[in-house]
Structure 1
């Protein structure tokens, strides 16, 4: 989990005094410590606690000239004018490159696995849904339960069809699923009740 989250945690540079020059992510170049060894760092007169402020003087980088040949990526670092009146701060940089204040919503939206939007989403999650029922229906839609194989045995389904206005449907999962999908965006009381009945029966 740490390796998954770390790329999103960036240091927004102010005075550069609390951001590690080697191990924090503060530029589009990977943390510099990934390709410059501790031995080279010490040979250049720096140490593992060197900050961004220590390697920047009047907007210019203080890299040894030999490093620019050994590690051409350092040439891609733009000049940076430090701001003595602002401290460094950590931000969450999302997949679109925008900096955000940390929140569980932003984190989840950044690290979650994304898939194509399914047509039945509003048939399962809608404003009047009951969370427990919606969760079970979500499992059914993903074919994680055997409900769709046993639907012909649902005696309660036959008894509740009229309540949901779904008496025209056969006891076949494909027919019920097609109805749920076509009515997913409907906000009429009849269709909302119909969806609630189907989900509760599941």
Structure 2
């Protein structure tokens, strides 16, 4: 957190009221502030002030109380704006955005100002979309960046090369490698799970190969059609629960068969669909029938959301 201080400092400004709670030297209440970056602590002490001096103590009746010699030594002080202390108002901290706008503090504003902005990637709406299940979205983000701790990834961390090769086997089928590509969904067990759910997303012609599945999702990423939203939900849920089952078998003695996992995936997506609304059409009426959803979810004008 302390490492963020240099990034945050210039965004936190004081909207000066009576000046009694604003540090004269360390707070930012003007473009040239903080004054401590201009005037040295020795000069402050020699002028009879201390590090705890408040703004109201050095700006009295419209006059600066510091020595006249400071102006010649630190001419930038001449650019300080003329303050008007309002004794009936308290000082107030505000957030100034990177565009220079003063706004109320919020975590969203802080994050948006501090983060490094980049162009939106083509797959953003595959991972982050309004109908998504948050933990599934985060998991999909890990898959896209290949951040899952599969054995082939962890093997690269072992510089000695002495990792037991038996540990590299997939815990679901025990015959393939424990890797992103194998788990989603080339593994024999994972493929059976995928084959059990893909029809529900009208993806029955899509191969059980992650690159093919992902390319299909990128192609429909911005679509608001119900069937395309469902496709994204089904894929993310299938990947999430396959990974969960992989870990369950790797670290415990518990296991679920293919049919149980298929039912968990479909019931999870079905519960999410119960929270959505669908634009009334022949296609969405079929979707509701396919997923055994009440017709009350159909609306006349709004798209699913």
Q: Taking structure 1 as the reference length, what is the TM-score of the superposition?
A: 0.87
TM alignment of 1:9-28, pairs within 5 A? 9-28=12-31
Determine if contact 1:164/1:190 at 8 Å carries over to the other structure.
Answer: yes
Q: Judging changes above 3 Å, is the alpha-carbon distance between structure 1 residues 180 and 24 closer, same or farther for their aligned structure 2 residues?
A: same
Aligned mate of 1:191, from 219, 228, 235 = 228
Aligned to 2:147: 144
Aligned mate of 1:123, from 122, 126, 130 = 126
Aligned mate of 2:76, from 65, 73, 76 = 73
- Structure 1 segments unaligned to the other structure (5+ residues): none
Determine if contact 1:61/1:79 at 8 Å carries over to the other structure.
Answer: no
Q: Deviations over 1:153-194 (max 9, x none)?
A: 231223322221112323332322221112112121211221
Q: Which has the larger radius of gyration?
A: 2
Distance in 2 (alpha carbons) for counterparts of 1:148 and 1:95: 41
Q: Deviations over 1:95-131 (max 9, x none)?
A: 2222222333333333334333222122112232222
Aligned residues: 202
Aligned mate of 1:166, from 180, 199, 203 = 203
Q: What's the RMSD between the two structures over aligned residues?
A: 2.2
Distance in 1 (alpha carbons) for counterparts of 2:8 and 2:81: 25
Q: Taking structure 2 as the reference length, what is the TM-score of the superposition?
A: 0.60
Distance in 1 (alpha carbons) for counterparts of 2:108 and 2:135: 22
Determine if contact 1:17/1:53 at 8 Å carries over to the other structure.
Answer: yes
Determine if contact 1:164/1:191 at 8 Å carries over to the other structure.
Answer: yes
Moved more, 110-119 or 137-146: 110-119
Higher relative contact order (CA 8 A, sep 6+): 1
Q: Deviations over 1:54-110 (max 9, x none)?
A: 222443434423222322321221222222222211112222222222333333333
Distance in 1 (alpha carbons) for counterparts of 2:36 and 2:130: 49
Determine if contact 1:10/1:93 at 8 Å carries over to the other structure.
Answer: yes
Determine if contact 1:91/1:102 at 8 Å carries over to the other structure.
Answer: yes
TM alignment of 1:23-62, pairs within 5 A? 23-62=26-65
Aligned to 1:182: 219
Determine if contact 2:26/2:33 at 8 Å carries over to the other structure.
Answer: no
- Structure 2 segments unaligned to the other structure (5+ residues): 149-178, 240-305
